[in-house]
Amino acid sequence: MSVLLVDAGNTRVKWAFAGAHGLVAPGAVAHGEAGWIERLEDAWRAHAPVRIAWLASVAQPEVEAALLALLARVAPVERVRSTERLAGVRNGYLEPQRLGVDRLLAMAGAQAMSLAPALVVGVGTAATIDALAGDGTHCGGLILPSPRAMQAAVLAQTPVRPRHEGRVTAFARSTEDALASGAWLALAACVERSADTFARESSRATGIVLHGGAAPALAGLLERAHVVREHLVLEGLAAVAADAVR
């Protein structure tokens, strides 16, 4: 019987099934799209029977409610929330429950994949940077606007309306390219400065682990060594599910 892993984010619902050697049949759907619930049900029932579903969510309450109603028809559900310790990671927040569960699970995924010490960087609706020590201690992190949000914030204060998305270059020669370049290079610089600071404070080399829908775009701008784990949150969720049966 299958174990279903579900990560409900601000924009998309991502899922996969836990396999003996990693994730199986991962997929994603934007929860603003027409028929998204039906698409999820079709994808999940293709792997029936499902023994149990593990859900982590930072989505809006109405999205969570729709998901829980669907999952109730598929399998028993375990909700994962932020706690002081989860799947080998010690939450570094002063109020552990306020750390986004997606961030905590991404660190759990990095820990399970033996990628720590590392900066765990998520690039989605927002950008997040979390410092994870080799022993699984979360040393804190940052939240900043995604490059898309940065550009939107600038444009909201001006009459400028870009004619295209722009491309990233060191010194842009059009407004569109300047907006795109400023936003993406700002995020890349923040990540690399954070990596330098973490390495200096921990007195050891640290890696950079990228995840989220826009991670590949950021990867092309970094000068430091890095890895992209497209399904890192789901890998963390798989680690939680595995811990539950030990």
Catalytic residues: 102
Residue bearing tokens 């990867």: 219
Are 105 and 237 spatial neighbours (Cβ–Cβ below 8 Å)?
yes
The Cα-based distances of 25 to 42, 69, 149 in angstroms read 13, 22, 31
Residues forming beta bridges with residue 19, ordered by sequence position = 22
Which long-range contacts link 142-150 to residues 24+ away (Cβ below 8 Å)?
Answer: 142/190, 142/194, 144/187, 144/190, 146/187, 146/214, 147/123, 147/180, 147/183, 147/184, 147/186, 147/187, 147/214, 147/217, 148/183, 148/214, 149/125, 150/182, 150/183, 150/186, 150/187
Are 81 and 100 spatial neighbours (Cβ–Cβ below 8 Å)?
no
For residues 233 and 110, what is the distance between their CA atoms, to the nearest angstrom? 9
Residue bearing tokens 């204060």: 157
